[in-house]
């Protein structure tokens, strides 16, 4: 008997059957996630999700490997969280929201547990590594800072004068007109004010940035009874054009000695001792000069000679280098500050620090001292 072949011709079905086939049955057959043999029960899917949440809460991976297994089981690309998420497709619309919330909790709990345990195990591993650290190994060196060349120079000056019995005093950098000028015998309209133009505080008339450390003389004399023997180091300001040799801010050290019977000879000997200690200078020279607050006044030079080209240049061929201004305190200044000028006398001096620092370290430009370039400053790391 020949085999009977049965040919099913689609077009043989009547129209209603064709519509049924295309719109009702075919979609069911081709939809990948639908198990046509056994459609899942909604309650099963919800239950599974809830069980998984409970399972995550109950898990306590004891070490890093167990934790990795935990991650793969729940959070991996083929993990439970992902497969439960995929169930979403079957959840009827009205329950999608509830299922979505359940999924959020699930994912969050799995991730939180994983992250916090991961941090714990990492910290443990780190401290274990710490225990293996060689405690006898030499420490990491801390980078040391260095003193500023101005500070180094200043310290040397302070050192020399404290050895002679001077103590250190100080005063404000924002000074009043009285202490900076008037008390120092430089009243308003005095032509000497011209040479010390400065910066004035707009909002506070009569206040200015001090042009020298001399106002500290006045402040100390107002407060103390002689004998007075102080030096006053500090920063001062002037309205100067900035160049290789001058700046609008610099440092000075003031000196003041008031007692009965202080003479010009005392001044000269004090300055000679200083010059020899500071520069090893063999001799000093006092040239007559003028300051409103000293009488007589002088400028002191130290002898460098002209043997070397550097000294020749520095002293402009004379062999003498100017270091400071000085003189006997004007009796009017003593009276301005409440000291009996018939009983007491004294001397004062004031010197710039920057120029001494430039000389000491052979620095060619004063501006380098205020630029705070660490490449420059590091060169003084061995200086005390
Ligand atoms: N104050 C003076 C100046 O800045 C220096 C000085 C101080 C002179 C003390 C004499 C006495 O130029």
- Angle between helix axes 42-58 and 93-131 (nearest 10 degrees) is 20
Its sign, for the CA torsion 29, 34, 35, 38, is negative
Neighbours of 17 (CB within 10 A): 11
Extended strands (E) in the chain: 167-168, 174-176, 207-209, 228-237, 249-259, 284-291, 294-303, 320-329, 345-352
Our answer on whether the CB atom of 234 is closer than 6 Å to any ligand 1 atom is: no
Q: What is the rounded CA–CA span in Å between residue 68 and residue 296?
A: 91
Nearest to 224 by CA among 258, 252, 254: 258
Cβ–ligand 1 contact at 294 (below 6 Å): yes
End-to-end CA, the chain: 122
CA 200 to chain centre: 29
Q: Is residue 248 within 8 Å of residue 238, measured between CB atoms?
A: yes
Q: Are 346 and 353 in contact (CB under 8 A)?
A: no
Residues β-bridged to residue 328 = 347
Distance 104 CA to ligand 1 centre (A): 81
Q: Are 253 and 151 in contact (CB under 8 A)?
A: no
Q: Phi first, then psi: what are they for 49, rounded to 5°?
A: -60, -45
pTM, entire model: 0.65
Cβ neighbours of 88 (radius 10 Å): 14
| Centre of ligand 1 from the C-alpha of residue 202, in Å | 26
How far, in whole angstroms, is CA 103 from its chain's centroid?
50
User: Ligand 1: does its nearest atom lie under 6 Å from the Cβ of 256?
Assistant: no
Q: Is the CB of 346 under 6 A from ligand 1?
A: no
Q: Is the CB–ligand 1 distance for residue 349 below 6 Å?
A: yes
Residue nearest to atom 7 of ligand 1 (CA): 350
* Per-residue pLDDT tens digits for 253-284: 999 999 999 999 999 999 999 999 998 878 99
In terms of average pLDDT, the best of 83-97, 133-147, 228-242 is 228-242
Confidence at residue 6, expressed as pLDDT on a 0 to 100 scale: 57
* Alpha carbons 236 and 350: distance in angstroms, whole number: 12
The number of the ligand 1 atom at minimal distance from the alpha carbon of 255 is: 9
Please tell me the distance between residue 85's alpha carbon and the centre of ligand 1 in angstroms: 88
User: What is the distance in A from the centroid of ligand 1 to the CA of 214?
Assistant: 6
Say yes or no: CB of residue 214 within 6 Å of ligand 1: yes
Cα separation, 103 vs 81, whole angstroms: 8
Question: DSSP secondary-structure letter at 360?
Answer: H
Residue 89 DSSP symbol: G
Q: Are 254 and 180 in contact (CB under 8 A)?
A: no
* Residue with CA nearest ligand 1 atom 9: 349
Atom of ligand 1 nearest to the CA of 211: 4
Find how far residue 378's CA is from the centre of its chain.
17
pLDDT in tens, 319-374: 998 999 999 999 999 999 999 999 999 999 999 999 889 888 888 888 999 998 98
| pLDDT, tens digit (0-9, with 9 covering 90-100), for 38-73 | 555 778 888 888 888 888 888 888 888 888 898 998
Output the pLDDT for position 141.
87
* CATH architecture of the domain with range 149-380: 2-Layer Sandwich (3.30)
Distance CA 333, CA 324 (A): 20
């Amino acid at each position: 008997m020949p085999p009977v072949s049965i040919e099913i011709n689609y077009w043989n079905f009547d129209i209603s059957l064709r519509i049924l086939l295309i719109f009702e049955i075919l979609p069911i057959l081709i939809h990948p996630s639908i198990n046509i043999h056994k459609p899942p029960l909604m309650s099963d899917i919800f239950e599974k999700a809830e069980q998984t949440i409970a399972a995550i809460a109950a898990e306590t991976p004891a070490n890093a490997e167990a934790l990795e297994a935990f991650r793969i089981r729940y959070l991996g690309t083929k993990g439970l969280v992902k497969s439960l998420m995929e169930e979403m497709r079957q959840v009827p619309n009205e329950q999608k929201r509830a299922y979505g919330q359940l999924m959020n909790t699930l994912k969050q709990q799995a991730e939180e547990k994983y992250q916090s345990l991961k941090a714990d195990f990492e910290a443990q591993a780190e401290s274990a590594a710490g225990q293996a650290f060689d405690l006898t190994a030499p420490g990491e060196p801390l980078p040391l800072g260095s003193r500023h060349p101005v500070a180094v120079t200043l310290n040397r000056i302070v050192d020399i004068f404290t050895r002679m019995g001077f103590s250190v005093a100080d005063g404000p950098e924002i000074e009043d007109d009285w202490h900076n000028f008037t008390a120092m015998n430089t009243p308003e309209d005095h032509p000497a004010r011209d040479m010390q133009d400065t910066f004035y505080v707009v909002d506070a008339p009569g206040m200015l940035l001090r042009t020298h450390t001399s106002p500290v003389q006045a402040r100390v004399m107002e407060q103390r009874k002689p004998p007075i023997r102080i030096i006053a180091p500090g920063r001062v300001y002037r309205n100067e054009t900035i160049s290789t040799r001058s700046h609008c801010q610099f440092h000075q050290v003031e000196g003041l000695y008031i007692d009965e019977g202080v003479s010009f000879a005392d001044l000269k000997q004090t300055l000679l001792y200083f010059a020899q200690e500071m520069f090893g200078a063999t001799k000093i020279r006092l040239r007559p000069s003028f300051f409103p607050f000293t009488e007589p006044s002088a400028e002191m030079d130290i002898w460098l000679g002209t043997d070397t080209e550097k000294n020749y240049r520095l002293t402009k061929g004379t062999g003498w280098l100017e270091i400071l201004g000085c003189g006997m305190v004007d009796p009017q200044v003593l009276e301005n500050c409440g000291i009996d000028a018939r009983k007491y006398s004294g001397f004062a001096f004031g010197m710039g620090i920057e120029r001494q620092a430039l000389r000491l370290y052979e620095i060619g430009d004063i501006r380098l001292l205020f630029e705070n370039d660490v490449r420059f400053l590091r060169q003084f790391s061995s200086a005390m």
